């Protein structure tokens, strides 16, 4: 029977969590949003991953639990990253189809305009085809919006798992930084000592060079004395025993020996410091390596999938006007040839029920010019925007809908002012605020 050490068990758990398809069965303890992907795992993988995740919260000391946490978050990060890419490809497919529809619509629209310009029948039938294309385009855009919403949710989950993984890795990095810090401080002190030793060696080298120069001079003097004594007939033994020669020789020998000892001592100290540096560096290296493992975990950034931001389309809030279509009296309406004739006195051609339309005119006996309702509203909005800003401007479409006037209806300023006052009253807006604007409009 073999016994597994703690490191073997840790490595075994790490390898199974990093490849969850090899190991669990219970889904308890996992995020609800991952149930879909989790359900696709094998029974053993579910059991292994579930137990690992539940056990992670109970472990207080960073180690196995931290590694399991990183593996768990990396696993779901990869899953959501893969899903985000698939959704992006799906959106690209919708964009391609919408682009094709837009191109087809542009070509059909050109044909419709050409038929209308040449007054050839069939333009309306093609316009119905355009409506069909519009419905298909709306359907594709709705599907694309749903896909993009799903993509944005998946992309944010991917980022959340990335942040959780990085948070756990940061805990390990800080832990190893604390362990490495005293070692690095010791290394800095040793490096400083080595620098001091090298400085002393340089200083000693300069001093030794000076000593050697002086010893060289002594040696030259010794040779001259030996030659002089040799000339007096002294033997070599007698010259060697001569006191002055013996003193100079002792000085040369002792000087060179002193240089040798100092060099040896300085080299020994430097070698000792280098040895301490090597040992301290060797002690720090395992922690540096482990720290770098978690730094590299954070370097594995998720894939950035860029999509165009969606814009809110303007909402149509009006209604389609249902109009009556009265017939004019014989001789008053348009002829069969389409020529408009002037009706009886008091009308402006066309139906008696239609409001006066056309260019601004003036009332007989009154020089006040009548303008179209649209012109009055545009003029009013210009003054209001200049005085209060665009927020207080009137919606022309809403005004026409409520008053049931058409844009071309001709009214004078006084009549427009009365209608406007009633419109503001209906909208529960105080007219007093705009008295100054009405005065300026009259001027």
**Terminal Cα-to-Cα distance of the chain (whole angstroms):** 108
Which residues, in sequence order, are bridge partners of residue 371?
411
Residue 11 DSSP code? H
Residue 301 DSSP code? P
> Which pLDDT score, from 0 to 100, does residue 399 have?
83
Q: Could you tell me the two tokens for 265? A: 């001592």
Mean pLDDT of 180-202: 88
Percentage with pLDDT > 90 across the chain: 23
> Which pLDDT score, from 0 to 100, does residue 396 have?
85
> Which pLDDT score, from 0 to 100, does residue 41 have?
60
Mean pLDDT in the chain? 76
Mean pLDDT of 351-374: 51
Say whether pLDDT at 96 is over 90. yes
Say whether pLDDT at 25 is over 60. no
Residue 434: CB atoms within 10 A of its CB come to: 20
- The answer to whether 34 and 80 are in contact (CB under 8 A) is no
- The model's pLDDT over 274-326, given as tens digits with 9 standing for 90+, comes to 999 999 999 999 989 988 988 988 888 888 888 877 767 777 777 777 777 67
- The model's pLDDT over 148-163, given as tens digits with 9 standing for 90+, comes to 899 999 999 999 999 9
Q: Binning pLDDT at 50, 70 and 90, where does residue 170 land?
A: very high
Say whether pLDDT at 409 is over 80. no
For tokens 């400085």, the residue is 199
| DSSP annotation string for 90-159 | HHHHHHHHHHHHHHHHHHHHHHHHHHHHTT-TTHHHHHHHHHHHHHHHHHHHHHHHHHHHHHHHHHHHHH
How far is Cα 339 from Cα 347, in angstroms, rounded to an integer? 16
- The answer to whether 195 and 215 are in contact (CB under 8 A) is no
User: Any residues with CB less than 8 A from the CB of 42 and at least 6 apart, and which?
Assistant: 21
User: Any residues with CB less than 8 A from the CB of 355 and at least 6 apart, and which?
Assistant: 405, 406, 408, 409, 410
How far is Cα 263 from Cα 146, in angstroms, rounded to an integer? 81
Lowest mean pLDDT among 8-12, 103-107, 188-192, 371-375: 8-12
Say whether pLDDT at 35 is over 60. no
- The model's pLDDT over 246-278, given as tens digits with 9 standing for 90+, comes to 888 888 888 889 899 988 988 998 899 999 999
| Strands lying side by side in the sheet with 361-362 | 361-362, 369-372, 410-411
Q: Could you tell me the two tokens for 195? A: 């620098």
How far is Cα 141 from Cα 138, in angstroms, rounded to an integer? 5
Q: Quick one: which H or E segment has residue 85?
A: helix 64-117
Q: What residue ranges do the domains of the chain occupy?
A: 6-178, 196-280, 361-442
């Amino acid at each position: 029977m073999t016994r597994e050490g703690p490191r073997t068990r840790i490595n075994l758990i790490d390898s199974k969590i990093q490849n969850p398809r090899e190991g669990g069965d219970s889904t308890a303890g996992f995020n609800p949003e991952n149930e879909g992907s989790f359900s696709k795992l094998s029974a053993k993988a579910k059991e292994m991953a579930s137990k690992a995740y539940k056990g992670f919260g109970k472990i207080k000391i960073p180690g196995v639990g931290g590694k399991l946490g990183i593996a768990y978050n990396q696993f779901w990060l990869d899953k959501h990253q893969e899903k985000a890419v698939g959704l992006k490809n799906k959106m690209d497919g919708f964009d391609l189809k919408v682009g094709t529809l837009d191109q087809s619509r542009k070509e059909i629209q050109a044909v419709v305009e050409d038929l209308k310009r040449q007054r050839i029948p069939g333009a309306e039938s093609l316009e119905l085809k355009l409506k069909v294309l519009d419905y298909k385009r709306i359907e594709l855009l709705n599907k694309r919006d749903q896909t993009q919403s799903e993509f944005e949710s998946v992309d944010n989950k991917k980022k959340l798992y990335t942040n959780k993984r990085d948070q756990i890795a940061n805990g390990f990095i800080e832990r190893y930084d604390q362990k490495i810090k005293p070692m690095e401080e010791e290394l800095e002190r040793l490096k400083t000592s080595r620098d001091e030793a090298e400085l002393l060696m340089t200083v000693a080298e300069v001093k030794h060079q000076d000593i050697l120069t002086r010893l060289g001079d002594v040696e030259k003097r010794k040779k001259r004395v030996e030659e002089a004594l040799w000339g007096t007939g002294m033997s070599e033994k007698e010259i060697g025993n001569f006191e002055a020669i013996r003193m100079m020789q002792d000085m040369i020998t002792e000087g060179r020996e002193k240089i040798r000892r100092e060099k040896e001592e300085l080299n020994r100290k430097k070698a000792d410091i280098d040895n301490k540096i090597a040992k301290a560096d060797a002690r720090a290296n395992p922690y540096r390596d482990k720290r770098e493992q978690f730094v590299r975990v954070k370097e594995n950034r998720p894939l950035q999938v860029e999509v165009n931001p969606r814009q809110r389309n303007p909402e149509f809030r009006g209604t389609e006007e249902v109009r009556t279509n009265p017939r004019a009296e014989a001789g008053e309406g348009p002829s069969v040839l389409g020529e408009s004739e002037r009706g009886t006195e008091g009308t402006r051609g066309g139906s008696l029920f239609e409001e006066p339309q056309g260019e601004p005119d003036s009332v007989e006996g009154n020089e006040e010019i009548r303008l179209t309702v649209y012109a009055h509203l545009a003029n009013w909005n210009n003054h209001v925007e200049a005085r209060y800003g665009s927020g207080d401007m009137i919606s022309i479409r809403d005004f026409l809908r409520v008053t049931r006037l058409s844009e071309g209806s001709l009214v004078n300023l006084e009549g427009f002012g009365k209608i406007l006052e009633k419109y503001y009253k209906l909208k529960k807006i105080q007219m007093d605020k705009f008295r100054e604007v009405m005065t300026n409009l009259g001027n």
